[in-house]
Amino acid sequence: MSLKNLLARAQPLLAPGIYDALSALVAEQAGFEALYLSGASIAYTRLGRSDVGLTTATEVAQTLAHITDRVRLPVIVDGDTGFGNALNVQRTVRDFERAGAAMIQLEDQGFPKRCGHLDGKTVVPAAEMAGKLRAALDARRSSETLILARTDALAIEGLDAALERAERYLETGVDALFIEALRSPEQMKAACERFASRIPLLANMVEGGKTPILSAQELGRVGFRIVIFPGGTARAVAHTLQRYYGTLHEDGTTAALRGEMLDFDGLNAVIGTPQLLAEGRKYE
């Protein structure tokens, strides 16, 4: 089902964070209907670094292409600031669309950007961001490729200014809005009361972040139409790896972990090795 059709339904769309083709495949097998490619998680997993603007558009596009080659679900992709000015935004949109993005998220942070739940962010003027969004809309080849506008202004300028920025971004014709790092249920309600009847709103759930963690069902009742848990996947994997490597280093074996991991055949079943080998035999 297309992302447009998924967003037309009454219930909120829950999109888990992914960072590579394997995490996308496992999420698809779990039954999700859409995925969120987190820029932060690419920095965490591909670079072993923080989300402070170190990843490049090329790295994100390459990661996205591997994912969309492996799974059929629509992918919402974090395009950060568009990696530059309006012309850079247009190149980013074309590259991400060619790599299979269903929705491209663009934010109004200054450079270097950073995770929306870190302190010390800056934002560009609203007029500059509105121009970048218009450039993005002009660059896409298909109206099925959706543009999501994110504002990080709440932490710098306050809630009222963030809502006003979102209003300006809505006027450009974007397909969804994302007001980052809402601090309380009251702020979340205020955002939905203003926008939810006019455009899909995204809620970002970051474990340990600035926004209260609610379930997708609770957020849907408030008015949000898209719910993401973007970095939880990387945090869960990092936690598991700490236990795995710590136990292996201490014991010299993985025996104590066998009940917590797939064996050789189990992983091959997940990634479809028998089917892939059968496909290859067709051409022998």
Q: What is the CATH number of the domain that holds 84?
A: 3.20.20.60
Q: Which amino acid is at 115?
A: C
pLDDT at 69: 98
Question: Same domain for 228 and 249?
Answer: no
Give the largest Cα separation in the chain, rounded: 65
177: part of which helix (H) or strand (E)?
strand 176-179
pLDDT at 111: 85
Structural domain for 264, as ranges: 238-281
Q: What is the mean pLDDT of residues 59-80?
A: 98
Q: What is the mean pLDDT of residues 175-188?
A: 96
pLDDT at 121: 86
Contact of 112 with 169, CB cutoff 8 Å: no
Return phi, psi of residue 85, to 5°. -85, -165
Whether residue 57 has pLDDT greater than 80: yes
Q: What is the mean pLDDT of residues 87-110?
A: 97
The count of domains in the chain is 2
Question: Same domain for 245 and 186?
Answer: no
Question: Same domain for 189 and 211?
Answer: yes
Q: What is the mean pLDDT of residues 112-121?
A: 77
Question: Same domain for 149 and 170?
Answer: yes
Mention every residue, 6+ apart, whose C-beta is less than 8 A from residue 213.
205, 207
Question: Same domain for 97 and 33?
Answer: yes
Q: What is the DSSP string of 233-252?
A: HHHHHHHHHHHHHHHHHHHS
- Count of helix runs (H) and strand runs (E) in the chain: 13, 8
Question: Same domain for 175 and 244?
Answer: no
- Give the residue from 205, 216, 220, 110 showing the smallest Cα distance to 155: 110
Rounded to the nearest integer, the mean pLDDT of the chain is: 96
Domain-ending residue, one of 198, 217, 233:
233
The residue among 115 and 155 whose pLDDT is bigger is 155
The reply to whether the predicted model has a pTM over 0.85 is yes
